[in-house]
Amino acid sequence: MNPWPILALVSATAFAGGEPDMAGWSEAPVKFRVQSPYNLPPGERYTVSNGVYHMRVLNHDAAFAASNTTLPRTEQRFDPDYTSHQIQYSADLMVPAGSSNVCVMQIHTGNAETPRYGATTFMLFIKSDSGGSLHFYSGEQILATNLYDKWFHLVVRHDLNTHLIEAWIGGRQVFTKKDNGAPDFYMKDGVYTQTGASPEMEVYIKNIQFWTHP
């Protein structure tokens, strides 16, 4: 089966390079745990139907643990952490119009390493401008526009040999940058509230795959 399906067109800021080369890559199991507001039943914010994961959060929800002080989230935290070689995440995402200032995918530094390197090294924020735009964090680097209410294919590749992170949207490379230098990472997807978030945020995700390479 072709792991790179052609989806509804979106506008992406592309540069040299098309779809990533998969020679030598091996598919890996998809394992995760769900993080959602601790005081609600999981089904209030997280559902799965016909292979589609629906994650939703309100900006006034509780954190994912009673002792946690971070902003509300409903996310899939993928296991295990990775400390060597290369790892690739791919999935189809759809963000309904109105969800804004929310992180939909991130590479998190290993928990023991966060005091030294910072909590994350890569985050993708959806904002409401340009019909739904995808940003690297909250800054001016826009990776794609016109995303609301459309399925788009996202690929994120992280090479621990070179500490390079690359991203593709709809088969077009839109991002490349070195990570923060930490030796331990894990990936997450879903909805994680950010400053100035809309009252309600949600994302639909399907066809999640992980790949590894020496």
pLDDT in tens, 75-122: 999 999 999 999 999 999 999 999 999 999 999 999 999 999 999 999
Residue 67 is inside which H or E element, if any? none
* Residue 1 pLDDT level (bands cut at 50, 70, 90): very low
Q: Residue written as tokens 């609600």?
A: 40
- pTM for the whole thing? 0.90
pLDDT above 90 covers what percent of the chain?
Answer: 89
Task: Report which of residues 10 and 105 the model is more confident about.
Answer: 105
How buried is 129 (Cβ within 10 angstroms: 0-12 exposed, 13-18 middle, 19+ buried)? exposed
- So what's the pLDDT on residue 139? 87
pLDDT at position 197 is: 97
Separation CA 83–CA 155 (nearest Å): 19
Identify the structural domains of the chain with CATH numbers, from first to last.
30-213 (2.60.120.200)
34: how many CB neighbours lie within 10 A of its CB?
A: 16
Name the burial class of residue 168, with classes exposed (0-12), middle (13-18) and buried (19+) by CB atoms within 10 angstroms of its CB. buried
pLDDT at position 187 is: 98
Which among 26, 158, 9, 12 is positioned nearest to 84, based on CA atoms? 158
Mean per-residue pLDDT of the chain? 92
Could you tell me which residues are beta bridge partners of residue 36? Answer: none
pLDDT band for position 7 (cuts 50, 70, 90): very low
Report which DSSP code applies to 110.
P
User: Are the CB atoms for 126 and 102 separated by under 8 Å?
Assistant: yes
Residue with tokens 């994302």, as numbered in its chain? 203
**75: β partners:** 35, 190
Average pLDDT over residues 6-20: 50
Q: What is the average pLDDT across 49-70?
A: 97
Residues linked to residue 90 through DSSP beta bridges, in sequence order? 155, 209
Residues, the chain, total? 214
> Average pLDDT of 126-136?
97
Distance from the Cα of residue 200 to its chain's centroid? 18
